[in-house]
């Protein structure tokens, strides 16, 4: 089974971009063909962002709920992007879902396939 890593903004996409993340991943990779994982740092970032009011807090709250579909993985990194890169370099993630351009570029330069928003509300794969 393919393991897909999700970063913080991937889990916030339903509110911020109107993307049904898991439905889109099923469309791209095949229903039931992937398992999802996040580093603990992503969960902690979502918890911090969900405090308060406003669009970002709402998106982070939705992201926390979606994170329940993911296995939480421990890393040595406390910064979410660094934790994603560490796990991808270790070979845990076959793909990483992100809309963060600097993170996407870091991953692609390391040979990791990245899934991001294409058009208005669909996901697409970028090969390194």
- d(C-alpha 60, C-alpha 48), whole Å: 8
pLDDT at 119: 84
For 8-34, how does the pLDDT look when each residue is reduced to its tens digit (9 = 90+)?
Answer: 999 999 999 999 999 999 999 999 999
Domains for the chain: give ranges and CATH numbers: 8-126 (3.40.50.1010)
pLDDT at 1: 87
Dihedral sign for Cα 32, 94, 63, 126, please: negative
For 47-97, how does the pLDDT look when each residue is reduced to its tens digit (9 = 90+)?
Answer: 999 998 899 999 999 999 999 999 999 999 999 999 999 999 999 999 999
Give me 33's structure tokens. 């063909």
Stated pTM of the model: 0.94
Give me 65's structure tokens. 């709920």
Task: Identify the helix (H) or strand (E) that includes residue 55.
Answer: helix 55-66
């Amino acid at each position: 089974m393919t393991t897909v890593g999700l970063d913080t903004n991937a889990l916030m996409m339903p509110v911020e971009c109107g993307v049904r993340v898991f439905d889109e991943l099923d469309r791209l990779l095949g229903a039931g063909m992937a398992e999802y994982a996040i580093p603990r740092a992503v969960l902690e970032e979502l918890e911090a962002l969900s405090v308060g009011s406003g669009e970002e807090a709402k998106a982070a709250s939705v992201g926390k709920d979606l994170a329940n579909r993911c296995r939480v993985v421990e890393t040595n990194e406390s910064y979410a992007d660094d934790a994603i890169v560490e796990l991808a370099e270790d070979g845990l993630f076959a793909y990483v879902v992100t809309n963060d351009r600097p993170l996407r570029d870091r991953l692609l330069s390391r040979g990791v396939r990245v899934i991001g928003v294409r058009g208005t509300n669909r996901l697409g794969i970028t090969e390194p």
